[in-house]
């Protein structure tokens, strides 16, 4: 039976991962859990937000389900999420955004997949003050990482019956960095004649996604644009409460919701567990527990269609655990 590393996370993370864990167990998935602490609790207890034991556990088990981790804004320690992705070589961030039944949204039939490069770009963390009144951040784009992420997007498209890959960039302005990304994308695209390829400048991409998301399929882009566009795509299908994600590398995979730790709601049994539950479903599909994954997807759809036992963001009054209970009852 596979062992999954479980990182409860900060803020609302513990209540969300506990809800997801209950649903996964109730679906009959054959998994055991190894719980390890990262983030604020680990900082208090071990003096570091990312103890070596966390990385060792994920490397050993190769699969993790993770709650969101809080990162201080502007000051304080570096993002643990970014450090974890870099330390484990989780180069691809996969964020599907698909319309689910019964969810209030301005858009119908959205079915997009954001593939975000996860290891470099402005997230390389090379920034510093230049004197007292200026600051500088260095954007790193490499041929290796760019070709690897675009190839990932095409392989994903092939494996999942997708028809088109769109590369997103700002190569008109950042001719060197984004220019390299775009050149790599065009070169890799030639290896996949069965899949259509096009590119969009990121500002135009935002406009297009808001006006006609149905024209797009798989989107691949550098780290920062991926962070922003995936929140935009979450907004097209009902918000952050329903958007799951996966961080994938050659060896290991870490599944987590797109949203953050929503600390203002921590401990209130209020926020939507679906993004974490659906991240768990992606995890089950990854490890081959496809029957349990399909059962959860069907149960989620039943609960959403009924529209009663859902959290505030979906127009309901259920708490986090009550929504998870409803999904368990529908399994
Ligand atoms: P956030 O995603 O935590 O929350 C923004 C807002 O989105 C919330 O106030 C809430 O209104 C809504 N929301 C988020 N999750 C929801 C859910 N499950 N159900 C219903 N509504 C939900 O973003 P933030 O406030 O910008 O960031 C909070 C912290 O999370 C920061 O420290 C940030 O660095 C961190 N963060 C972590 C990750 C991660 O762990 N991968 C990702 C993003 C942000």
The Cα 221–Cα 229 span in angstroms is 9
Q: What pLDDT was estimated at residue 72? A: 73
Do 116 and 206 fall within a single domain?
yes
* 123 part of the active site: yes
Domain that holds residue 157: 106-236
Do 157 and 260 fall within a single domain?
no
Do 117 and 224 fall within a single domain?
yes
**296 inside domain:** yes
Average pLDDT over residues 4-12: 98
Do 298 and 185 fall within a single domain?
no
- Do residues 18 and 33 make contact, with C-beta atoms less than 8 angstroms apart? no
Measured in angstroms, how far is the CA atom of residue 261 from the centroid of ligand 1?
Answer: 5
**96 inside domain:** no
Do 118 and 211 fall within a single domain?
yes
**6 inside domain:** yes
| 125: confidence class by pLDDT, cuts 50, 70, 90 | confident
Catalytic: which of 170, 178, 225, 325? Answer: 170
Total of domains in the chain: 2
Q: What pLDDT was estimated at residue 79? A: 85
Do 323 and 228 fall within a single domain?
no
Measured in angstroms, how far is the CA atom of residue 161 from the centroid of ligand 1?
Answer: 32
Rounded to the nearest angstrom, the gap between the alpha carbon of residue 168 and the centroid of all alpha carbons in its chain is: 18
Do 291 and 219 fall within a single domain?
no
Average pLDDT over residues 219-245: 97
**Any idea what the CATH number is for the domain that residue 19 is in?**
3.40.718.10
**282 inside domain:** yes
- Do residues 3 and 30 make contact, with C-beta atoms less than 8 angstroms apart? no
**16 inside domain:** yes
Q: What pLDDT was estimated at residue 145? A: 97
**194 inside domain:** yes
| 10: confidence class by pLDDT, cuts 50, 70, 90 | very high
Do 271 and 230 fall within a single domain?
no
**97 inside domain:** no
* 265 part of the active site: no
Q: What pLDDT was estimated at residue 78? A: 76
CB-defined site of ligand 1, < 6 Å: 68-71, 81, 240-241, 256, 259-264, 271-272, 275, 313
Domain boundary among 205, 220, 236: 236
Do 216 and 253 fall within a single domain?
no
Domain boundary among 236, 261, 278: 236
Catalytic: which of 175, 187, 203, 264? Answer: 203
What is the pTM for the complete model shown?
0.95
Do 131 and 216 fall within a single domain?
yes
| 241: confidence class by pLDDT, cuts 50, 70, 90 | very high
Residue pLDDT, tens place only, 59-106: 999 999 999 999 877 667 678 998 999 899 999 999 999 999 999 889
Do 175 and 63 fall within a single domain?
no
Do 134 and 69 fall within a single domain?
no
Residue pLDDT, tens place only, 14-36: 999 999 999 999 999 999 999 99
Q: What pLDDT was estimated at residue 95? A: 97
Domain boundary among 236, 258, 289: 236
Residue pLDDT, tens place only, 291-326: 999 999 999 999 999 999 999 999 999 999 999 999
């Amino acid at each position: 039976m596979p062992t999954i590393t479980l990182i409860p996370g900060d803020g609302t993370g513990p209540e969300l991962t506990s809800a997801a864990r209950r649903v996964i167990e109730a679906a009959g998935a054959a998994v055991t859990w190894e719980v390890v602490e990262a983030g604020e609790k680990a900082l208090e207890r071990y003096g570091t937000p990312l103890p070596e034991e966390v990385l060792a556990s994920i490397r050993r088990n190769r699969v993790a389900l993770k709650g969101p981790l809080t990162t201080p804004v502007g000051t304080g320690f570096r993002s643990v999420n970014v450090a974890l992705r870099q330390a484990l070589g989780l180069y691809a961030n996969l964020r599907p955004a698909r319309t689910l039944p019964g969810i209030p949204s301005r858009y119908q039939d959205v079915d997009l997949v954001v593939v975000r490069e996860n290891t470099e770009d402005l997230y390389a963390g090379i920034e510093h003050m230049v004197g007292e009144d200026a600051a500088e951040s260095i954007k790193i784009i490499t041929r290796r990482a760019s070709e690897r992420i675009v190839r990932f997007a095409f392989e994903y498209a092939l494996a999942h019956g997708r028809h088109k890959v769109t590369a997103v960039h700002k190569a008109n302005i950042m001719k060197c960095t984004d220019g390299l990304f775009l050149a790599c994308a065009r070169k890799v695209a030639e290896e996949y004649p069965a899949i259509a390829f096009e590119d969009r400048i990121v500002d135009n991409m935002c406009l297009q996604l808001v006006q006609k998301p149905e024209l797009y399929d798989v989107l691949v882009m550098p780290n920062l644009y991926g962070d922003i566009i995936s929140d935009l795509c979450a907004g097209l299908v009902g918000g952050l409460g329903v958007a799951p994600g996966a961080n994938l590398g050659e060896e290991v995979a870490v599944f987590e919701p797109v949203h953050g730790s929503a600390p203002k709601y921590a401990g209130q049994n209020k926020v939507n567990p679906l993004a974490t539950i659906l991240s768990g479903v992606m995890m089950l599909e990854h490890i081959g527990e496809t029957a349990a994954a399909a059962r959860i997807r069907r149960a989620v759809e039943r609960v959403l269609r009924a529209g009663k036992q859902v959290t505030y963001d979906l127009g309901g009054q259920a708490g986090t655990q009550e929504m998870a209970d409803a999904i368990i009852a529908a399994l």
